[in-house]
Structure 1
Amino acid sequence: MSWLPVIALAMAAFVVAAFALRLPKSGWALFGAALLFGLAGYAMHGSPGYAGSPTENVPEANPNNAAMVDARREFFGADSLPSRYVTIADGFARNGQFEDSANMLLNAISQDPSDVEAWVGLGNALVEHADGSLTPAALYAYSQAEQLAPQSPASAYFLGIGLLRSGRPEEARRIWAQLIENAPTDAEWVEPMTLRLERLDAMLTQMGGQQPAASGQ
């Protein structure tokens, strides 16, 4: 059935040329041959059975994407609302559009270079865009967040996640252990961070790694 519109169009073109445009009868055979030649070429190279518009690899929403955004938000709390750029970037991140998310976070940083959450979010978006690789750009974003808010565990935590995803668990463990060791005694995040470190130690033990006892545990 997909060939019928093509044939009908060719016939319509012939009728218009012959009667509406008053093509001389001596040229009918030549014009008809041209149409047949065009149909033959379409038969050889065309794809009438395919959809008219090409499909694209559209990023899909993933529960892990939303979990990453929610985990970052927990470090900043409900009292510290993100900027509108960060909010839009989070929407892109939840849908797996990490390049768009990173670009939006760059807008946030351009407007406010001291936006710690934007720097952390940028590091996360760059890691995800690189399929879990801790790129130099992501490292720079985390380092900027660390310099702006050395008392916040967010940058060190997500840097550790990036190291884990890049196959460098020992480095991740060292960063997390140092983070706990230098933490204020009354910091609320110390306990959950310690639990994460313990799970990492268990994983390293299963991998056969020999790790020293964690400081502060």
Structure 2
Amino acid sequence: MTWVTAIALAVICFALAVLIFRPGRSVWASLAAALTFGLVGYAVQASPDMASAPKEAAAGPDAGQYDIVGARREFIGDNERSRADAMYQADAYAARGRYSEAATILSGITSANAGDFEAWIALGNALAEHADGVLTAPALYAYNQARMVKPDHVAPSYFLGVSLVRQGRLAEAQQIWRGAYDAAPEGAPGRAALGERLERIDGMLGAMGGLPAQHSAPPTE
């Protein structure tokens, strides 16, 4: 691991903690200090030029992975839920970190019903998690399909932004979230939650030196 990578990971960890786990602003300074101390410890003890050894990733909820099932339910109203019985099985796989199996089930649901909004969101999330948070072409396709079903819904843009944050593309996530928030009707499902995240990323980017909001065009296909 190089120094650039170590610093980038620290910034991404800070962003994820603030935007996803939502600590209060009073915790931000402590979190930043903890990451700084971690970098200091890395500087003292680590060997950044030493090749890393492969390690099998831990699986399941105890590994601390992002709760994609709980997050999805926060952004989707009760009347927008999928009626597919197989969603329960897909969620059970996803909750245990078995994203490939979840994606296979969800692909079957969306193939049978292309208008199943929640299933498209769940599929995009499972595909992104299977790629360790990277926004792959199949995940982006799933989010775009969900957007076609409900063009003004904030959920596709929110989860697209989460993947961008996890890649350190904070300004792009900010741009996408701002557009979705402004386009959604007042009181729409997930709009208030997105507004909270947007406020946090605005504050974070300001604290980091005012990175430009228009960093680059958001992915569209």
Q: Tell me if both proteins adopt one fold, taking TM over 0.5 as the criterion.
A: yes
Higher relative CO (Cα under 8 Å, sequence separation at least 6) belongs to: 2
* Cα root mean square deviation, aligned: 2.2
Q: Which amino acid aligns with 2:99?
A: F
Assess if the C-alpha contact under 8 Å between 1:65 and 1:93 holds in 2: no
1: CA distance, partners of 2:57 / 2:197: 35
2: CA distance, partners of 1:77 / 1:189: 8
The TM-score with structure 2 as length reference comes to 0.64
Query: Structure 1's 156 and 62: CA in aligned 2 closer, same or farther, altered over 3 A?
Result: farther
Q: Which amino acid aligns with 1:173?
A: Q
Query: Structure 1's 186 and 118: CA in aligned 2 closer, same or farther, altered over 3 A?
Result: closer
Q: Which amino acid aligns with 1:77?
A: G
Alignment deviations for residues 6-61 of structure 1 (CA, whole Å, 9 cap, x no partner): xxxxxxxxxxxxxxxxxxxxxxxxxxxxxxxxxxxxxxxxxxxxxxxxxx977322
Query: Structure 1's 145 and 111: CA in aligned 2 closer, same or farther, altered over 3 A?
Result: same
Secondary structure class of the residue paired with 2:188: coil
Secondary structure class of the residue paired with 1:121: helix
Query: Structure 1's 174 and 57: CA in aligned 2 closer, same or farther, altered over 3 A?
Result: closer
Q: Which residue in 2 is equivalent to 1:138?
A: 139
**Structure 1: 5+ residue runs without aligned partners?**
1-55, 213-217
Assess if the C-alpha contact under 8 Å between 2:154 and 2:194 holds in 1: no
1: CA distance, partners of 2:169 / 2:211: 14
Whichever of the two has the greater Rg, that structure is 1
Task: Name the % identity.
Answer: 41
Q: Which residue in 1 is equivalent to 2:76?
A: 76
The TM-score with structure 1 as length reference comes to 0.65
1: CA distance, partners of 2:167 / 2:129: 11
Q: Which residue in 1 is equivalent to 2:42?
A: none
Query: Structure 1's 207 and 79: CA in aligned 2 closer, same or farther, altered over 3 A?
Result: same
Q: Which residue in 2 is equivalent to 1:167?
A: 168
Aligned residues: 157
Query: Structure 1's 78 and 191: CA in aligned 2 closer, same or farther, altered over 3 A?
Result: closer
Structure 1 residue 68: Cα displacement: 1.9
Query: Structure 1's 189 and 103: CA in aligned 2 closer, same or farther, altered over 3 A?
Result: closer
Q: Which residue in 2 is equivalent to 1:107?
A: 108
- 1:87 is the counterpart of 2:75: no
Q: Which residue in 2 is equivalent to 1:192?
A: 193
- 1:60 is the counterpart of 2:60: yes
Assess if the C-alpha contact under 8 Å between 1:204 and 1:210 holds in 2: yes
Assess if the C-alpha contact under 8 Å between 1:65 and 1:95 holds in 2: no
Structure 1 residue 97: Cα displacement: 0.2
Secondary structure class of the residue paired with 1:210: coil
Secondary structure class of the residue paired with 2:67: helix
Q: Which amino acid aligns with 1:145?
A: A
2: CA distance, partners of 1:157 / 1:141: 13
